[in-house]
């Protein structure tokens, strides 16, 4: 999604947008667009060229080449960091892929894009935002500059532009939990760490909720309607001082409520959800047996491939994956259901030996 303003935005604005989740971007690629998204400097990065040449000989399907690149990132010792070493060679992609192997989202997105273009697959880098912070008070999502992200898109026949995020192959926590959780302990950003404590989070949620409500229900009206609304609330000719006091009192009430609800529902800090952790372990078990989960593949789709690859365990795998989808995407799941799923998953991994399959 790209929204551009022809003029500078100097005040709070509202935009009504509609998503077409099944939309296929550019099902037919023009010759000029194909050339543009295959363009590469000549005679650079020979080691990467050799790597890609091997994949092109081995794989006929472009989807398999995409998967091979992601698998390369997963299997080699790559690391996510905001303080990567400086790339000094003219063959920067070679230096990154075979020497430093350290970087952040733009490093991985650009290296992946170069690899795809070398393979004859049109590819491009996309800059935007990933994630955000969900406010439970008003159910709105706040996206900040810390959520800035870069990923790639590849053009595939019959699919159009397909989104691929190579960073997720290196640091799944960057996608699941946000930037702060993906960084090594010594690289945590102070502002993000401070923002994660209960008091800061409570205040931030309260202020954002109040701000969002004000923007949504007051600033969206003309001044005449704003004054009518305030008059209905008992403020026929409100001064700035009066409005500030009302705002402060409302904020105090909201903070008190959030603090109370936070104490009731607080989860242990610093712990990854065991459901996510066990799901990742199951995916790694399948990967060791030769079945890699694609970066854009959800649990239900992956369960179909897993059941086909290991038919003797098909029903169990489908049950585990479908129950995982319920646990992740349906919020009102009791703890007994979670414990039951964890037990089934762990028992399966402990007692099952998967025979390697041909890729």
Distance between CA 306 and CA 296 in Å, rounded? 15
pLDDT of residue 130: 82
Question: Is the model more confident about 17 or about 303?
Answer: 303
Structure tokens that stand for 247 in this block: 């705002």
pLDDT of residue 341: 92
Distance between CA 240 and CA 166 in Å, rounded? 51
Mean predicted confidence (pLDDT) in 342-358: 90
Contacts of 66 (CB under 8 A, 6+ apart): 116, 121, 154, 156, 162, 164
Q: Where are the domains of the chain?
A: 31-183, 197-265, 274-351
Of 18-22, 29-33, 289-293, the range with the highest mean pLDDT is 29-33
pLDDT of residue 334: 78
Given a cut of 50, whether residue 133 has pLDDT beyond it is yes
pLDDT of residue 331: 57
pLDDT of residue 84: 87
Given a cut of 90, whether residue 320 has pLDDT beyond it is yes
DSSP string of 270-333, one letter each residue = T---HHHHHHHHHHHHHHHTT-PPPTT--HHHHHHHHHHHSGGGHHHHHHHHHHHHHHHH-S--
pLDDT of residue 229: 64
Mean predicted confidence (pLDDT) in 279-286: 92
Catalytic site positions: 105, 149, 165
Structure tokens that stand for 102 in this block: 């350290």
pLDDT of residue 126: 93
Band the pLDDT of 146: cuts 50, 70, 90. Answer: confident
Given a cut of 50, whether residue 347 has pLDDT beyond it is yes
Distance between CA 149 and CA 146 in Å, rounded? 9
Strands 140-142 and 148-156: unpaired
pLDDT digit string, tens, across residues 259-271? 776 666 555 545 6
Given a cut of 60, whether residue 185 has pLDDT beyond it is no
Mean predicted confidence (pLDDT) in 271-294: 87
Of 58-67, 299-308, 318-327, the range with the highest mean pLDDT is 58-67
Mean predicted confidence (pLDDT) in 163-172: 83
DSSP string of 223-264, one letter each residue = HHHHHHHHHHTT-SS--HHHHHHHHHHHHHHHHHHHHHHHHH
Taking CA atoms, 233 is separated from 130, 223, 227, 228, 238, in Å, by: 39, 15, 10, 9, 11
Contacts of 313 (CB under 8 A, 6+ apart): 307, 348, 352, 354
pLDDT digit string, tens, across residues 82-100? 888 999 999 999 999 999 9
pLDDT digit string, tens, across residues 25-49? 888 999 999 999 999 998 899 999 9
Given a cut of 70, whether residue 237 has pLDDT beyond it is no
pLDDT of residue 26: 85
pLDDT digit string, tens, across residues 200-236? 778 788 888 888 777 776 555 556 666 666 677 676 6
Q: Are 130 and 141 in contact (CB under 8 A)?
A: no
Tell which CATH architecture fits domain 31-183. Roll (3.10)
């Amino acid at each position: 999604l790209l929204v551009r303003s022809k003029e500078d935005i100097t005040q709070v604005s509202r935009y009504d947008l509609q998503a077409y989740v099944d939309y296929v971007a550019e099902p037919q690629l023009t010759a000029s667009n194909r050339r543009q998204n295959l363009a590469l400097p000549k005679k650079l990065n020979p080691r990467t060229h050799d790597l890609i040449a091997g994949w092109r000989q081995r794989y006929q399907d472009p989807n398999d080449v995409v998967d091979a690149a992601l698998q390369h990132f997963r299997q080699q010792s790559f690391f996510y960091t905001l303080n990567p070493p400086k790339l000094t060679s003219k063959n920067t992609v070679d230096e990154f892929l075979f020497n430093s192997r350290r970087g952040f989202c733009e490093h991985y997105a650009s290296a992946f894009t170069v690899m795809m273009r070398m393979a004859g697959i049109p590819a491009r880098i996309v800059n935007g935002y990933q994630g955000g912070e969900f406010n439970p008070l008003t159910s709105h999502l706040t996206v900040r500059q810390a959520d800035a992200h870069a990923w790639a898109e590849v053009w595939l026949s019959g699919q159009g532009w397909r989104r691929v995020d190579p960073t997720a192959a290196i640091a799944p926590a960057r996608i699941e939990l946000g930037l702060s959780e993906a960084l090594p302990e010594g690289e945590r950003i102070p502002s993000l760490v401070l923002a994660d404590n209960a008091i800061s989070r409570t205040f931030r949620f309260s202020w954002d909720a109040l701000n969002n409500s004000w923007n949504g229900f007051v600033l969206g009206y003309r001044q005449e309607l704003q004054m009518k609304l305030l008059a209905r609330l008992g403020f026929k000719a409100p001064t700035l001082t009066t409005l500030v006091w009302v705002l402060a009192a409302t904020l105090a009430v909201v903070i008190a409520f959030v603090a109370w609800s936070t104490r009731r529902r607080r989860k242990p800090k610093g712990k990854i959800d065991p459901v996510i952790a066990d799901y990742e372990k199951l995916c790694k078990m399948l990967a060791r047996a030769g079945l890699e989960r694609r970066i854009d593949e959800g649990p239900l789709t992956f369960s179909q491939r897993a059941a086909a690859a290991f038919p003797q365990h098909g029903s169990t795998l489908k049950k585990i994956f479908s129950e995982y989808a319920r646990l992740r995407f349906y919020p009102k799941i009791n703890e007994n259901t979670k414990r039951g799923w964890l037990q089934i998953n762990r028992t399966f991994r402990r007692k099952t030996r998967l025979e390697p399959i041909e890729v």
